[in-house]
Amino acid sequence: MTEYGPDNDATVVIPAVPADATRSLPAVSEETTGSVTRNSAVMAVGSLASRLTGFVRTVAIGAAIGARAFSDDYTLANTLPNMVYELLLGGVLASVVVPLLVRARTRDADRGEAYAQRLLSAATIFLAGATVFAVLLAPAFTELLAHSSSGVNKHLITVFGYLLLPEIFFYGIAALLAAVLNTRGHFAAPMWTPILNNIVVIATAGAFIMIWSNARELGPAQVTMGQVLVLGVGTTLGIVVQAAGLFPALRKVGFHWRWRLDWRELRLRELGRVGGWMLGYVVVSQIALLVVLALAQAAGKHNGPGPMVFNNAYLIFMMAHGIVAVSIITALLPRMSAAAAEHRYGDVATQLSLGTRLSAVILIPATALYVVLGRQLGVALFEFRSYGHDDAVATGWVIAAAGLGLVPFAISQLQIFAFYALTDTRTPALLNVPVAALRIVIDVALYAALTAGAVAAGLMVGNAVSFLAACVIGYWLLRRRLGPLGLTQVGGTLLRLGAAALIAAVPALLVALILEHFIGLGKLASIVELAVAGLVLVAVYLAAAVGLRVREVSDVWGMVRSRVAR
């Protein structure tokens, strides 16, 4: 249940809508269904494009500044605005603000225009004050994230913090404007404007490479203020452009932002009551994230893979999960919510079982691919310019460890969707406490037991174990709420899919080893090994799954064909 900030376009936790928020909504019609289909297609394409440009952005930054101390300092500093944003607004926005905007739009005579203007006015003032306060606290944030680092590292992180923490304001504005657009049926701009952000940062990395073409794997002591300014200002400019890109869409839907300071109609008590549990969830997640980043930073100080490598591996982890998020989970959520609203709890359990089995069809072979071909993935995707071969190999091993968490993470996310469909934000928040505590204990223990070079991979193992614990506890709690969850069917499907993946992993590994013997370990060789061995893995997996009579494989194939046909 890890959250890494608003620029992470992985699956976000979709919140509960208060029970009375939907009462005045119109019944679903054929036209509405058609619009949902069109909007889903727009969001799917936008999400894919955002993920692809986000990956290019990550590679570009890695090529510019490498994967060592300087890049670790940049990564930590860029985490600061994400964390503060999540604490201030991220979870509360999703769980409370959107439902209130929907309610105002369906209830008020002006279709929620005045309410949205009041909300934006209040949030703008709040975000501006919070951002100024956060910028002033940059040295304190640095001490929190990198208390054991050298003075040079701390100074660099603090300077980056001054440049990057203003992102908080623009993250908040972009999220609020996107919420206003979504409640007015406009989904394209919020999905596509993050691409503008990625393009700006890619251009920033390109400018850095052009200006300082001879700078490779810079240490904090060698970094100039000009280099820090280019990276810091360029990164912040990306989110500024993302927020600004939403204003034309607002005009298109007829919304005009006017300052309104009469905030009594905002129903702030309800905001606090409903959003409190979500805020608690976010706080616990951020505490766990602080520990993870601190341990990764400490490992980086001892020449092990640091925060940059960890984040890059996590990006690849979330790309695999994102395939499921856009297709399977998104398709099941409305059915789950509708069943819960009508107290058809057996149907909620059925949808949860179905979502688990369908997700596993994709994510179990993805796990095998990551574990068997993780090194090739790291080298093929990341080795470029300042991001050297050794760092790319290290990233690959962290990707391999991250793959172990794919299935339990997806299941835990589905369970959260089930709780939120039941309009329950309290249980996920409370569940997150022991899960985060377990992750911290495991991570600290692994940090103490492993060499610096293995710590980042160990942190991914800690993630996987905590996700697995979340699944076990979540199933127990949902069993008490929903009744039988079809665990026999789920377990049987997972075992057969696991067997198919294991059968496929053996020839894929042999092919990779044979190719490695003849063509080596370089970038081009890794691309060839990844392509050939990956095709072998997928082909054998599908054949084995069909032979083991896993009917969910056909179901997923049908979903893919229907989506392509649209």
What was the pLDDT predicted at 42? Answer: 58
Residue 46 CA to its chain's centroid (Å) = 15
C-alpha span between 21 and 99 (Å, rounded)? 6
C-alpha span between 163 and 145 (Å, rounded)? 17
User: For residue 235, is it within any domain?
Assistant: no
Please name every residue paired with 387 in a beta bridge, in sequence order, or none if there are none. 384
pLDDT exceeds cutoff 80 at 250: yes
343-364: string of b/e by CB count within 10 Å (b at 16+)?
A: eebebbbbbbbbbbbbbbbbbb
User: For residue 428, is it within any domain?
Assistant: yes
Nearest to 346 by CA among 355, 336, 356: 336
Mean pLDDT of the 328-333 span: 69
Instruction: Evaluate if pTM is beyond 0.85.
Output: no
Dihedral-angle region of residue 383 (phi above 0 means left; psi in -120 to 50 means alpha; beta otherwise): beta
Q: How confident is the model at residue 259 (pLDDT cuts 50, 70, 90)?
A: confident
Mean pLDDT of the 236-250 span: 95
User: For residue 275, is it within any domain?
Assistant: no
What was the pLDDT predicted at 31? Answer: 41
- SS3 call for 317: helix
Q: How confident is the model at residue 32 (pLDDT cuts 50, 70, 90)?
A: very low
HEC string of 35-83 equals HHHHHHHHHHHHHHHHHHHHHHHHHHHHHHHCCCHHHHHHHHHHHHHHH
C-alpha span between 395 and 376 (Å, rounded)? 10
pLDDT, tens only, 189-210: 888 899 999 999 999 999 999 9
Dihedral-angle region of residue 8 (phi above 0 means left; psi in -120 to 50 means alpha; beta otherwise): beta
Contacts of 496 (CB under 8 A, 6+ apart): 545, 548, 549, 550
Residue 388, token pair as written in the block? 């050297």
What was the pLDDT predicted at 381? Answer: 94
User: For residue 482, is it within any domain?
Assistant: yes
HEC string of 525-566 equals HHHHHHHHHHHHHHHHHHHHHHHCCCCHHHHHHHHHHHHHHC
Residue 65, token pair as written in the block? 């500044």
**Residues of the domain holding 311:** 287-566
pLDDT, tens only, 275-328: 678 778 888 998 999 899 999 989 988 889 999 999 999 999 988 887 776 567
pLDDT exceeds cutoff 70 at 30: no
What was the pLDDT predicted at 13? Answer: 37
pLDDT exceeds cutoff 90 at 468: yes
Task: Point out the least confidently predicted range of 14-18, 111-115, 413-417.
Answer: 14-18
User: For residue 248, is it within any domain?
Assistant: no
What was the pLDDT predicted at 110? Answer: 79
pLDDT, tens only, 145-166: 777 666 678 889 999 999 999 9
Q: Residue 329 gets which letter from DSSP?
A: I
pLDDT, tens only, 213-229: 876 666 777 889 999 99
Task: Point out the least confidently predicted range of 7-21, 51-65, 87-101.
Answer: 7-21
C-alpha span between 559 and 556 (Å, rounded)? 5
Mean pLDDT for the chain overall: 84
User: For residue 282, is it within any domain?
Assistant: no
95-104, 195-204, 425-434: range with highest mean pLDDT? 195-204
Per this entry, what is the length of the chain? 566
C-alpha span between 272 and 96 (Å, rounded)? 9
Nearest to 378 by CA among 1, 54, 50, 62: 62
Task: Point out the least confidently predicted range of 40-49, 147-156, 398-407, 480-489.
Answer: 40-49
What was the pLDDT predicted at 145? Answer: 79
What was the pLDDT predicted at 231? Answer: 95
Phi, psi of 384 (to 5 degrees): -170, 125
User: For residue 196, is it within any domain?
Assistant: no
- SS3 call for 212: coil
Contacts of 63 (CB under 8 A, 6+ apart): 205, 209, 384, 385, 386, 387
Mean pLDDT of the 154-182 span: 91
What was the pLDDT predicted at 566? Answer: 56
What was the pLDDT predicted at 195? Answer: 94
Mean pLDDT of the 346-354 span: 90
- SS3 call for 27: coil
Structural domain tally of the chain? 1
User: For residue 311, is it within any domain?
Assistant: yes
Mean pLDDT of the 6-16 span: 39
Between 333 and 73, the more confident residue is 73
What was the pLDDT predicted at 378? Answer: 96
pLDDT exceeds cutoff 60 at 9: no
User: 3-state DSSP helix/strand/coil percent for the chain, to nearest 5?
Assistant: 80, 0, 20
Among residues of the chain, what percentage have pLDDT more than 70? 83
Task: Give the CA distances from residue 201 to residues 24, 222, 232, 233, in Å, rounded to whole numbers and listed in that order.
Answer: 43, 22, 10, 10
Task: Give the CA distances from residue 336 to residues 7, 12, 425, in Å, rounded to whole numbers and listed in that order.
Answer: 27, 17, 16
pLDDT, tens only, 492-511: 999 999 999 999 999 999 99
Torsion of CA 140, 146, 148, 150, to 10 degrees: -90
* CB distance 43 to 326 below 8 Å: yes
State the sign of the Cα–Cα–Cα–Cα dihedral 508, 514, 515, 520: positive
* Cβ count near 494 (within 10 Å): 18
Between 98 and 90, the more confident residue is 98
C-alpha span between 203 and 236 (Å, rounded)? 13
**Which amino acid belongs to residue 378?**
G
Where is 181: in which H helix or E strand?
helix 167-183
pLDDT, tens only, 549-562: 998 888 777 666 66
What was the pLDDT predicted at 36? Answer: 43
Please name every residue paired with 384 in a beta bridge, in sequence order, or none if there are none. 387
Task: Point out the least confidently predicted range of 64-68, 313-317, 519-523.
Answer: 64-68
Among residues of the chain, what percentage have pLDDT more than 90? 50
